[in-house]
Every structure is written in structure tokens, then in C-alpha cells.
Amino acid sequence: MSAVLPRLRFNLDFLPSADPHRPGLFIRDPYHYSDATLLVPPALVQVLECFDGKQSTRDLRSELVRITGDIQVGDLEKHLFDSLDEAGFLENDRYRELKAKREADFALEPQRESILAGAAYPQEASELTQLLTRRIGAPQGSASSVAIAAPHASPDGGWDSYRAAYQALPPREQVENCTFVILGTSHYGAPDRFGLTRKRFRTPYGEAQTNVALVNELANAADGAIRKEDYCHAVEHSVEFQVIFLQHLYGPAVRILPILCGPFVKSIYEGGLPEENQSVASFFDALGNIAAREGRKLFWILGIDMAHMGRRYNDPLRATANLGEMLAIEQRDRERIRHINDGNLHGFWSLVQDGHDDLKWCGSSPLYTFLKIMPGIRGELLAYQQWQIDPHSVVTFGALSFEPLSPL
């Protein structure tokens, strides 16, 4: 008897193996509902197309017979299905159970644990301090500065931009009583939604303190735009990197307001402004009211990258940093940055909408949110980089510093 196969999840990472001794396609779950990683051999990669929610076990069996030339494929068929099922990679009850459990567990945890300590940066606080002291130095920015934008790429790919951004921060005594509002890209969040959490952020330095009062104020004022205790915080790196830099410069118990900004997809693809969505408008109003009331008690940190070009991002070109087509990408990046620095919100967003953001700026929604909330701000580009993330793909990012045209 033939049954319809469940669909392979759309929200998985598929990466070709870089090890010539272990060729194939790696599958992993960026949401960490499952910690499994599967390596599908090259001959079986095409078989994954059978898991589209339409084809049946009979179709899978026929494809395996065609590929192997053997009619006895029952064990192989079972092993493939069981491996995908146990890993939680199929749209079925197993996946839904894993998802519900992980999200429920995160909601109950008092802190958000670091996910990149020991990988993207050292696990030991002393080693991390040595690294950041050597790479970043001390804050030496203007007392009038109210915001910076820094990358959220791996620090090894972006030290120059991280250094430029975090050296532009004011000295410690000028931000001692500040809450750092971190507007991070939500790579996994829902469109037109903002992810909040009341959890403390634990890193090798200790626990950064989340300003729960401001989280509650936003949650009460703009409930329709907000994912509370958003599970995306559990797996998102765009805020985590900013927290370790802030703790290094200002102490482990630095106070933060972590906000994940989902993409403004409808505005990019259908036109109009993000705030034409009433839920988004209510969030802008609520955060804008907090910004106006708190003034210099807030300092804004934007965790953003810019363009994502090349085969890794489904572009036909083989992107090479600072060469060929990436020179034209730099000019387009700089045109967007010019509008940002001029405080020209609509000019910036018009360029994002042009070509439905073919540059794939993952930092566009945090930038739009900031410019909307903080009118009368002018920026300065401190650094610009193109990072060769793999042999065929490039990510661009930079460092910006912002000051008000008139005193807050």
C-alpha cells in the first residue's frame, strides 16, 4: 500500500560537504528544534525531491530502484525515511513535537544561554577579554553619539568593522545608567513581527540584564506586532554578538533591551511603507514614545549585515570580494548608506524596494525601525567591508555612528 510522503521542511539548512572524503549534502536545523546533522550521499540527494508532500512511498521506491539498479531497496528506503523522521526534518508529528517541546522549554528558562561561545568566540572569559582587548580596544567616541551600527557576521570576518563601531561608543561614565536598545536582524522570525524576551542574556562574562519594564511596556502597547518570549532569540546570533562587546566594554551586568526585527516582506514585494501594517505602526508608536521619554537614557545598537551575494544566496554569479560585480554592489551599498546617513528614510527604503531587495540586506528592517523611531539623526560611515564567506559568496557590512542634529 502506498502512502503520501511528508514534506521535507523548508526551514532547514542545506550545505554541500567541503570534505572530499565525505562528499554529499549536509542537512541541519538552524532553529535547533533538532540537534541532528545528516549527510546525504551524492547519489541520494535527488531522492529528497520525493519528500514534497505530493509524492508517495511508491514514488520513493521507484526512484531508489532507478538510482541503485537494485529492486531490493526496502532497507534503504526505511533507513532514509527513519533518518529524516527521527531528526525532525519532515513536516509531520515528530517535527511538531520537537518544536513544541523546544519552544516550551525556552519559555520556562530564566536566561538565554549563549549559543556561539566556544565556536565564534572563546568560551573562557579571560581568553575572550584578551581577544577583545587586542581587537577592539577602548571606547573613544563622541559624547553626543546616540547609536552605532555594527555587523552580526562572525567576528573573524568583520573585526575592522566591529572595532570601528565599538570604538565609536562613548566612554563608560557617559553611558553608566543607559539601557542599550539592541535592534537585531531576525533571520528566523515572522515577517512584520518583532521578537521580545524578558530573559537575561548569559555569556562567558556573566548575565546581561534585560530591562523588563520596557519589554512589558512594548508588549502591552503593541501586542499584535510582538512575539513574546520569541523562540528566535534562542537561536539568533545578531543580538548575542552585540552583548559580548557591550559586556567587555561596560561590564557583565550591562542593561539591554533586545529586539529582533522581522523582515518587512509585504512592503518590499508589494509596495507601500512598513507602517501601513497597523501592527507594525503600533510598535513604531510604542517604541517611539519610549525613545522620546527616555532620551539619553537609551543608547541604540544595530546588529546588521548588508548585502548577501553569490551562490550561497541563490545568485548565479560567483561572487568575489572587492572584484568584478562586487565593485558595483559596493556602489549600490554606499548609495543606501548615504541615504541612511542623511536620515532619508524614504530614500533608503525606495532603494530597498527597488528590485525587491535583490541585494538581500538582512539589516534593512532594524535600520528602517531605527530611522523611523529616531528622526533628526545623522550618521557617518566608519568602515565598509566585503567578506568572502565561502569561495562563491560574499557578505557586506560596515560600521556606522549616529548623532542627533540637535541635542536630545
Per-residue pLDDT of the chain (408 residues), as tens digits, is: 679 999 999 999 998 888 889 999 999 999 999 999 999 999 999 999 999 999 999 999 999 998 888 888 889 999 999 999 999 999 999 999 999 999 999 999 999 999 999 999 999 999 999 999 999 999 998 889 999 999 999 999 999 999 999 999 999 999 989 999 999 999 999 999 999 999 999 999 999 999 999 999 999 999 999 999 999 999 999 999 999 999 999 999 999 999 999 999 999 999 999 999 999 999 999 999 999 999 999 999 999 999 999 998 989 989 999 999 999 999 999 999 999 999 999 999 999 999 999 999 999 999 999 999 999 999 999 999 999 999 999 999 999 999 998 766
| Structural contact between residues 366 and 150, judged by C-beta atoms closer than 8 angstroms | no
pLDDT for 68:
84
Where does 230-365 show beta strands of DSSP type E?
255-261, 298-303, 308-310
pLDDT for 1:
62
Place of cell 562567558: 204
pLDDT for 199:
97
pLDDT for 106:
95
Burial level of 281, CB count in 10 A (0-12/13-18/19+)? middle
Q: How far apart are CA 351 and CA 339, in angstroms?
A: 9
pLDDT for 109:
95
pLDDT for 408:
63
Domains in the chain, CATH or no CATH each: 13-103 (no CATH), 111-404 (3.40.830.10)
| Structural contact between residues 132 and 221, judged by C-beta atoms closer than 8 angstroms | no
Nearest Cα residue to 180 out of 289, 284, 345, 294:
294
- 182-208 burial, b if ≥16 CB within 10 A, otherwise e? bbbbbbbbebbbbbbbbbbbbbbbebb
Count the Cβ atoms, other than its own, within 10 Å of residue 256: 23
Where does 76-145 show beta strands of DSSP type E?
111-113
Spatial neighbors of 169 by CB under 8 A, at least 6 apart, are 139, 141, 145, 148, 175, 249, 299
Walk across the sheet containing 25-28 and list its strands: 13-16, 25-28, 37-40
C-alpha of 35 from chain center: 19
